[in-house]
Chains A and B, each alone.
Chain A
Amino acid sequence: MTGLIALPGTRPSEVAFIARANPVAKLAVAMVIPIALILTVDPVTAGTALLLEILALPWCGVGPRRLLRSGWIVLLSAIPAGLLTLLFAADSGRLIAGLGPVTITAGSLTAAAAIALRILAIGLPGVVLITTTDPTDLADALAQVLHLPHRFVLSALAALRLFGVLAQEWTMLTMARRARGFDTGFGRADGFGLGAARRVGGQVFALLVLAIRRATVLAVAMEARGFGVDRRRTWARPSRFRRSDLAIALGGLLIAVLATVAGVVTGSWNLVLT
């Protein structure tokens, strides 16, 4: 299970333009584009955004293999979401196929394409962010560029490091429960029922105890090194937001705007709230 979960670790030595950019710029792109895409369900907006993102990909320094390795979850979830919409969406337009309550119409086809493209278009900038950014650099950028309170940003970074430790503890807890006589996994002694829920709940509880205890000791260790006393602080790794970073952030905004415009112009843009 721990193998499934991999966090970015050491700083990748990046040469590509976007990969080298300040993490705040990449974060801005990854968070602004979803806003535009989330407001509408139509294939033109989502498709345009995705196309523009793919065009920017060569500057991101992420090869197709790395992209696939980090982004397979996004890819994998676009398919069932698309299928679900295809089969169960509200019917409109020409009927293409039908079998009882399940109907595929032109309308549902469009909607399915929209949903799938939307997932991909939202996910791609995030994948680029993750594969090209080191968490420590991201934290430095958030505190120095965006001036988010450093006590929170650095505590979150320190806690992030514990993720791997807690994941290992989870495995140990599972083994310890087997040693105490509790089978693991569904389909064994407890199955799906209340028993399984209680057992998993118990394991989550144990994880929380261990997590909070580690947290209190970590807090003492950080305070012992002078953390949190003063607002004043220097930074060993200065994070600068340059004009090129601004350009990248604006580029993300541009993608969002262009995609929306494309949708509006072709008449397929429709606000989700209605």
Chain B
Amino acid sequence: MLNRPALNRTAGSGAAVQARGWGWRYGTRKAWAVRGLDLRIEAGERVMLLGPSGAGKSSLLAGLAGLLDPVESGGDEEGELLLDGVPARQARVQGVRAGQPLTGLLLQDPQAQTVLARCGDDVAFGLENHAVPADQIWPRVEQALREVGFPYGIEHPTAALSGGERQRLALAGVLALRPGLLLLDEPTAMLDPDGADLVRESVAAVLAVTGAGCLLVEHRVAPWLAMIDRVVVLEPGGGVHADGPPEVVFAKQSEALAAAGVWVPGVRIGRTRPASRVQASNGGTSDPRRQDAGTLDAGTQREQLLTAAGLAARRPGQVESVVQDLDFTVQAGRALCVTGPNGVGKSTLALTVGGLVAPAAGTLHAGQSLDAGAGPDPITWRAGELVSRIGTVFQEPQHQFVASTVAAELAVGPARVRGRHRPDPQQVAARTDELLERLRLTHLSRANPFTLSGGEQRRLSVATVLATAPRVLVLDEPTFGQDARTWVELTALLAELLAEGAAIMVATHDQELVDELGHPDLGEVLAL
């Protein structure tokens, strides 16, 4: 007979976690996600959970939320995972029946957490599921929206929200239930810096007011440090690797953490670019803002591969242009970093330059060597001509996969090339091997692209574009949702490509990437 402590603690005042030798294995995996975990977290403690991918951080959060069920999902469980002395799954059911859950889970993907079409309804969803009396629902919805500082009313359509606003809405939905423990699974990983700030502020405010505890998983650690009491580092497939106050853990474990892809505070990454061989003589502009078409670094004749004049871009299917009247050039061996706030049109511009969306106004012309007989407007090129001239790397790698193995993916591009640049099978095979090697994908060459991890998928999407050796590379948010390790690799790869003479255009809100590639030695910044 299980102990059933009365749920008489005040709403939201913290729930204690106890893991005793806890382990979990998913039904379709041989390896255990977590094993032998011994951990104790007091009510109201704010803990950050770190570790390499595969260390079971998300599994622990899901387990605490009571969502891992061996019977339902065919997985295996060992040991105990208790919330206030009650097994987590049971605590979830009890919480729903009592109308007061112990935990609230916030996930990574803002789009996936929006359930209903109006903001107020979405927040009320959780309250309805917990059988909160109808007359109490709307006051609590309004209060939760106020607490997260949500700028819109309850009738506002959720389709019109930005990523950061969506996450705040999801947070409001969690908070309306007054959980004692907030489980945050990389809540800002898929947000731009402004959106991430909004979410962080909301979480900080809530923690201060309610005294709830939190268990946070994140890669970009520094901004959260102010609200964290304790850091726990997990080992892959095992238990706790390190545990203690933030300063201590970061001091002792900084190498291991950096290897795990964490942005360890105080450790600067970046600056991995090769020393530039061609220094712009100091007549070159050091103004990080717009560089007009026709201005070349004094003394350096760079080939102009794409020239935009009065370019206006619009999203497919829309009538209004989102950006207008732009003049810039994409030059060989230089990076053009397009940056700006969320929604300003960076992605749209990238797709237009990539020859995938017709310009709304103005012109985008390819230089002589890029044109090579296909015509001056990339949008008019056939796909087979486009693929060997301009390569586009999409924000979501999964949009680009067309084959069933990694090796086949790399072979697709060269096979689709039309015109003079068409390579022969031997060249293709050699290039495939070289790319697999360069991007550390050789051991995955027979794997299905969709089974790869996030970082591996990102590397594969870049590799597929490089397979046809295009002279211009357009990348839409390449570091989006990636950890520090992948960030470092990507930046180094892009710097190498620049040194080899490729032209790169990057649309990104990642300030560190802009600092890296937009440095006057390497490229220009176009701020929208």
Contacts and interface: CB of A to CB of B under 8 A. Distances in A.
Contacts of A181: 383-384, 386-387, 412-413, 415-417, 468
A1 B117 contact: no
B128 interface: yes
Nearest to B319: A3
Interface stretch (B34-42, B104-112, B484-492): B104-112
A266 interface: no
Given A179-B391, A181-B417, A233 B129 contact: yes
Interface of B: 62, 65, 67, 92-93, 95-97, 101, 104-105, 107, 109, 111-118, 121, 124-134, 137-138, 141, 155, 157-159, 170, 173-174, 177, 316-317, 351, 354, 356-357, 382-384, 386-387, 391-392, 394, 396, 398-402, 412-413, 415-417, 450, 464-465, 468
A234 B137 contact: yes
A161 B92 contact: no
A220 interface: yes
Contact of A229 (B93, B157, B387): B93
Contacts of A238: 134
Interface stretch (A43-51, A81-89, A122-130, A206-214): A206-214
Interface string A212-248: 0010011011111111111011111110000000000
A236 B351 contact: no
A218 B112 contact: yes
A217 B394 CA distance: 22
A96 B351 CA distance: 58
Nearest to A9: B157
Given A179-B387, A181-B417, 20 more contacts: A10-B118, A134-B117, A161-B114, A161-B116, A161-B158, A161-B159, A172-B396, A172-B399, A176-B399, A209-B450, A224-B65, A224-B104, A225-B126, A225-B173, A226-B101, A230-B131, A233-B131, A236-B127, A236-B128, A236-B137
Contacts of B174: 225
Given A180-B416, A206-B399, A236 B121 contact: yes
Given A224-B105, A225-B174, A226-B126, A232 B131 contact: yes
A172 B386 contact: no
Chain A interface extent, by class = 35 or more
A180 B413 CA distance: 6
Contacts of B62: 220
A165 interface: yes
B112 A217 contact: yes
A171 interface: yes
A164 B114 CA distance: 13
A225 B115 contact: yes
Interface in A90-143: 134-136
Contacts of A184: 383
A210 to B, nearest CB: 6
Interface of A: 1-3, 9-11, 134-136, 157-158, 161, 164-165, 169, 171-173, 175-184, 188-189, 202, 206, 209-210, 214, 217-218, 220-230, 232-238
A172 B396 CA distance: 9
Contacts of B126: 225-226
Contact of A10 (B157, B351, B464): B157
A161 B161 CA distance: 13
Nearest to B93: A229
A3 B384 contact: no
7 contacts: A161-B115, A161-B116, A183-B383, A189-B383, A225-B173, A233-B131, A234-B137
A221 B174 CA distance: 10
